[in-house]
Every structure is written in structure tokens, then in C-alpha cells.
Amino acid sequence: MKFFVDTADINEIRTLAETGLLDGVTTNPSLILKSGRDIKEVLAEICDAVSGPVSGEVVAMEASAMIAEGKKLAEIADNICIKLPLTMDGLKACKALTSEGYKSNVTLCFSANQALLAAKAGATFISPFIGRLDDMAIDGMELIEDIRTIYDNYGFKTEILAASIRTVNHVKEAALAGADVATIPPSTLKALVKHPLTDKGLEAFMADWEKTGQKIV
């Protein structure tokens, strides 16, 4: 599974990129607002910090305007992935842009039928929102499983990008369900490494090592 981080905080991105675990970044208008920065400026810095896809989202509602915005965003760097809403206009823009070789991420997916349409439109990524479905007492993982089955049935190349991830269990469950990518908030991504038994074991090892009086360097 590929790991993307869901943030526009360049410092968080650079820190996580240093681990070698980061395969890409997703942003959205809310994250750009939170950053307090110009979208083109922050996307340029993110694209310089990571080599994988960086999703920058259009804000137009009509297809031709989405296409124009998408092409403008794509001028920022070669690894920009144009993020489009799952609407008819968004799908129309997706088809046009992917036909010209641009990478696309169709977002705000809440049903398998929507995911099927995105794949037919040539989307590079489809972003089903797990957490928001869970908020409505709907099992978001069932959606991942359904999309995986449909895409495998027909050989679609669109990658399933599990989004709206809230917990470390969401990451595990998305991986088990066959998601290709998980886009994860920085705090949740960092929490994946944590386990109380790891901490306890390390504490014991360090105590014993101190008693040896040795140094490695």
C-alpha cells in the first residue's frame, strides 16, 4: 500500500518525507485555508519536497472552468495530480484532462457506482471517504471492498485512494480491503509506528545496555 499524507503543512511533509515512507500528498481547499498560504506557492513547495503525486484541487463547478484550472495547477510541477469533484462536470473534466495525459484524483466518492463512473472517465485515483461514511453509521470499508471487486472484474487501472481516514485501524482495514493508497493525516501516520510493547521492550533493552558500560561509537 502507498502512503500519502493529507496536509498542506510543508514542515510536516518534509519531516515525513525524510522517513522514506511517503509516496505522495493530498490537499484540498480546507487544508489550503488552514495553511494560510497561496495555493500555487504551497503546492510548488510540496512538489519539490516529494517525488510522488501531489493532489491540488480545482474549485470551479463547470467542466470547462475545471479543465482550465486543472491545467493551470499542472503548470506548477510535473507531479501535480488534478483533484476533481465527483459530479458530471467533474467526470467530464476528468475525461478531457486524462485524455491529454494529466493525472487526476476524483474526490468525494461515497458509492461504488460513483467509483465505476470515475474509472470509466479515466481517473488516475478515486478517493472514497471512509470516515464520513462511518459518521453516518455506514461501513466505509464495505465501499472499499466493493470498488476493489468492480475494478478487478473489469481490469480498471484507477487506483483506490482511501480517504477521510481517522484512525490507525482505518489504515489496516483499508489495506486488508485492497485499497492501493491511503491518504492519512500526519498525526495518524505517525501513530502507526506506536505500540506499548515496543516502548516497554526498548526501555528494557536500554536499561540493560546502560549496565554494560559500553559504547558503539
Angle at 206 between CA 203 and CA 208, to 5 degrees: 110
The pLDDT, as a whole number, for residue 6 is 98
What is the per-residue pLDDT across 142-200, written as a single tens digit (0 to 9) for each? 999 999 999 999 999 999 999 999 999 999 999 999 999 999 999 999 999 999 999 99
Q: Which segments of the chain have a pLDDT < 50?
A: none
The number of CA neighbours under 13 Å toward the Cβ of 166 is 9
Lookup: cell for 189: 501516520
The answer to whether 80 and 124 have CB atoms below 8 angstroms apart is: no
Q: What are residue 13's phi and psi, to 5 degrees?
A: -65, -45
The pLDDT, as a whole number, for residue 176 is 98
60 alpha-carbon distance from chain centroid: 21
Catalytic residue among 2, 72, 83, 120: 83
The answer to whether residue 49 is domain-embedded is yes
The answer to whether residue 84 is domain-embedded is yes
The span from the CA of 24 to the CA of 5, in Å, is: 7
The answer to whether residue 126 is domain-embedded is yes
Q: Is the dihedral of CA 196, 200, 206, 209 positive or negative?
A: negative
C-alpha distances (whole Å) from 142 to each of 53, 61, 133, 172, 173 are 26, 29, 10, 14, 10
Q: What is the CA radius of gyration of the chain?
A: 19
Lookup: cell for 96: 478531457
DSSP states of 73-140: HHTS-TTEEEEEESSHHHHHHHHHHHHTT-EEEEEEE-SHHHHHHHHHTT-SEEEEBHHHHHHTT--H
The span from the CA of 99 to the CA of 78, in Å, is: 16
Longest dimension (CA), the chain: 70
- Check which CATH number belongs to the domain holding 102 and give it: 3.20.20.70
Beta bridge partners of 21: none
pTM attached to this predicted model: 0.95
Beta bridge partners of 82: 56, 104
Q: What are residue 167's phi and psi, to 5 degrees?
A: -140, 165
The pLDDT, as a whole number, for residue 43 is 98
Residue 2 falls in the annotated catalytic set: no
The answer to whether residue 217 is domain-embedded is no
Q: What is the domain extent for residue 79?
A: 2-212
- In the chain, the number of structural domains is 1
